[in-house]
A = this chain, B = another copy of it.
Amino acid sequence: MANTLRAIPLSTVERLSIYLRTLRESLVEGMDFISSTEIGKRNDFTAAQVRKDLSCFGNFGIKGTGYQISELINTLETILGLDREWKVAIFGLGKLGGALACYKGLKSARFNVVAIFDVDPKKVDKTYKNIPVYHSDMLKKVVREKKIQIAIIAVPTDSAKATIQRIIDAGIKGILNFTEARVPYPDEYILKNVNLAGELESISYYLIHSDL
């Protein structure tokens, strides 16, 4: 059954993103319908997992046939909130911040970078790839005026904690953090950490512990 927004696990939501990518890919390949088995095969999930995930939100499939691809794409985009434009700000115009500002995957997925913040006088009050660069002191004002909803943190480690705190205080509820700083945040916020060092460290762990 369907359509509750209660208690969907994060892992399910993350898989929806992956299913969506697979659906777009198979649409490009000219397919009309796709089965849970095929979605699973392309991503190394079980078919039951795929069906269970989708059934959290409704009955989208046709028995004996599978899922109508273009329809399911629309459905998943709506579920994930990709049917609207999100206003994103990047904090820190270093190498990583610059790379993220240029990243094609963002714009194409309705994540629109409308502001960059930095503290370097040489960077501030100019534009970078047509995106205005503001001094971080302008945070609250710009966030209010531009209705920024999502922050991406790519500042140096030593200023990360303070930056995140100010972003929380400014009321930006969605935060993607590329730094190592960890900051407590209110329940109604969502803060996700991407930890490059941590990823490599678990790779290192498994490389030395997979005996064989």
Contact = CB atoms under 8 A, between A and B. Distances in A.
A105 interface: yes
Given A81-B209, A150-B200, A150-B203, 18 more contacts: A10-B202, A13-B202, A13-B206, A14-B198, A16-B201, A17-B195, A20-B201, A80-B204, A82-B201, A86-B204, A96-B99, A96-B103, A106-B200, A109-B197, A111-B197, A150-B204, A174-B206, A190-B207
What number of copies of this chain does the assembly contain? 2
A138 interface: no
A43 B184 CA distance: 8
A186 to B, nearest CB: 10
Nearest to A204: B81
A80 B201 contact: yes
Nearest to A177: B199
A100 interface: yes
Please report whether the interface of chain A is mostly helix, strand, loop or mixed according to DSSP: helix
List the 5 shortest-distance A-B pairs measured between CB atoms, nearest first: A95-B99, A81-B204, A17-B198, A174-B203, A81-B208
A126 interface: no
Contacts of A16: 201, 205
Interface in A61-100: 79-82, 86, 88, 94-96, 98-100
